[in-house]
Copies of this chain bind each other. A is one copy, B any other.
């Protein structure tokens, strides 16, 4: 369990039964790596939060409240995970969003997850659970996550992650990360305009790749593309850039592009 929780700025362990986060998943969240007391890529996480709030027409707490509370939780912490969630707040029964609700904010500071010893093997599976297409909800990190829960329930500890396909059978993302593949020499990552979460690390990787002169493309990615890919890697704020060595029956080598990007991001201090 988290080592510290702040509910609307106060150490607490409970929220209202009337909160719309519980009732409808009516809210947003962010998961952030903390290193040497600092929540990494904070502004990028806030940017995505703001995009989500705009899509949901939801009020947000003031930025400096979130920042102040995050700083107070992270102070003196070597390495940890900071998660926060913001909901539309409390309302009467019914889907209609209230006009005046006060958003709820909950910040959680958790231990850094213990990495299993993998000998460099990163074994990924294909999930049977598909991601539905909804452009309104795609890209943002909202609290309606049953598809990810059902996908993650498909396996135990035998795989590092599972890749999810959309209803057309194209690759979208891992349950809790984004995916990149080098296809015909071009670094590709799935288009997320209809499904998936546009990761902060994904955005950063695309920018750094472009800056490093690596040709990259946001596009449709098929399983056939992955079968023939020169390298595949996963990205998230917690895992950084993680090369995949096996996807179902297909094997991959750790590639130059993943290593180059990992080294670049590590040197810039973006990885925990």
Tell me the minimal C-beta distance from A154 to chain B in angstroms.
10
Q: Which of B15, B110, B146, B147 contacts A17 (CB 8 A)?
A: B15
Q: Which of B1, B15, B93, B176 contacts A2 (CB 8 A)?
A: B93
B residues within 8 A CB of A151? 95
Bound-state Cα–Cα, A175 to B129, Å: 25
Interface check A108, CB cutoff 8 A: yes
Number of interface residues of A (CB under 8 A): 59
B25 touches A152 (CB 8 A): no
Interface check A218, CB cutoff 8 A: no
0/1 string, A11-40, CB within 8 A of B gives 1: 011111111111111100101000000000
Interface check A54, CB cutoff 8 A: no
Chain A residues numbered 125-175 whose CB sits less than 8 Å from any CB in chain B: 129-134, 136-137, 142-153, 167, 175
B136 touches A108 (CB 8 A): no
B133 touches A94 (CB 8 A): no
A97 touches B146 (CB 8 A): no
Q: Which of B87, B96, B153 contacts A96 (CB 8 A)?
A: B153
A93 touches B81 (CB 8 A): yes
B residues within 8 A CB of A153? 57, 96-97
A108 touches B95 (CB 8 A): no
B residues within 8 A CB of A97? 149, 152-153
Bound-state Cα–Cα, A246 to B16, Å: 38
B26 touches A149 (CB 8 A): yes
Chain A residues numbered 195-234 whose CB sits less than 8 Å from any CB in chain B: none
Q: Which of B1, B17, B94 contacts A7 (CB 8 A)?
A: B17
Interface check A181, CB cutoff 8 A: no
Interface check A5, CB cutoff 8 A: yes
Q: Which of B12, B21, B81, B142 contacts A22 (CB 8 A)?
A: B21
Most chain B CB inside 10 Å of its own CB: which residue of A25, A92, A131, A147: A25
B residues within 8 A CB of A150? 56-57, 136
Q: Which residue of B lies closest to A156 (CB)?
A: B96
Interface check A85, CB cutoff 8 A: yes
Which chain A residues have a beta carbon within 8 Å of chain B's beta carbons?
Answer: 1-2, 5, 7, 12-26, 29, 31, 56-57, 81, 83, 85, 87, 92-97, 106, 108, 110, 129-134, 136-137, 142-153, 167, 175-176
Beyond the given A25-B25, A95-B145, please list 12 additional residue pairs across the A-B interface where CB-CB is below 8 A: A2-B18, A7-B17, A13-B18, A15-B17, A22-B87, A24-B148, A26-B145, A94-B176, A97-B149, A134-B167, A136-B147, A136-B150
